[in-house]
Amino acid sequence: MESIEAHTAVGSPSWRKPAEPDALPDDPVLREWLQDRGSLTRRLRDAGKRDFSLSVLGENMEVASDEDRLLLGSDDRQVYVRRVRLGCDAMELVFACTLMPRSTLLRHPWLKELGERPLGEALGDRESVERTDFEYAWIPSDHPLMSDALLAADTTSGGLWARRSRFLVDGSPILVYEVFLPGLSRIGAC
């Protein structure tokens, strides 16, 4: 599995705020999914009529890029990285990559014990969780973030739309990248 540090080696995508030009796709269904501030897990569960799936692709300590460390507000070179795919109705719809500095894990060791439980559900059970505004980017298919996100049949698009944001759990940062896979537009706005 590629190191998150490879983000800067290839060149970082142009992350944009929603009001910036070309921050979001033209596809209204995909745009709605990207901008939804509610629980992505809950929405996928609703779309799949309870046929929700989460596949853990990997959980490892890895070297963080300078950009990710800046976003996390952490000096930790090593971060805990969790990669998952979310889906419903036997379709993989979202790839998520979560980065947690050691300081966050020391305060919240339960974050390493999520297993098949979605991060969003685990955080939704807690009272002192804040989420920052989203930033959006078109991620080219050769970018390291895409290595686990793309299915072989999906490479024809040349890339995929993604969003990122930070969660603060009692002030401890977690950085989440979510890449929206092509099947999402096909299931429609739920």
Residue 94 CA to residue 34 CA, distance in Å, equals: 11
Q: What pLDDT digit, counting tens, does each position of 84-104 carry?
A: 998 887 788 899 999 999 999
Domain range enclosing 25: 6-184
Per the domain annotation, does 100 fall within a domain? yes
Give the CATH number of the domain where residue 173 resides.
3.40.1410.10
Per the domain annotation, does 85 fall within a domain? yes
**pTM metric for this prediction:** 0.87
- Cβ contact 165:79 at 8 Å: no
- Cβ contact 24:136 at 8 Å: yes
Per the domain annotation, does 1 fall within a domain? no
Residue 147 CA to residue 30 CA, distance in Å, equals: 21
Predicted confidence (pLDDT) at residue 141 exceeds the cutoff of 90: no
Q: What pLDDT digit, counting tens, does each position of 156-186 carry?
A: 567 889 999 999 999 999 999 999 988 777 6
Per the domain annotation, does 28 fall within a domain? yes
Token pair recorded at residue 163: 């969003």
Per the domain annotation, does 177 fall within a domain? yes
- The number of folded domains in the chain is 1
Q: E strand or H helix at 106, and its extent? A: helix 102-107
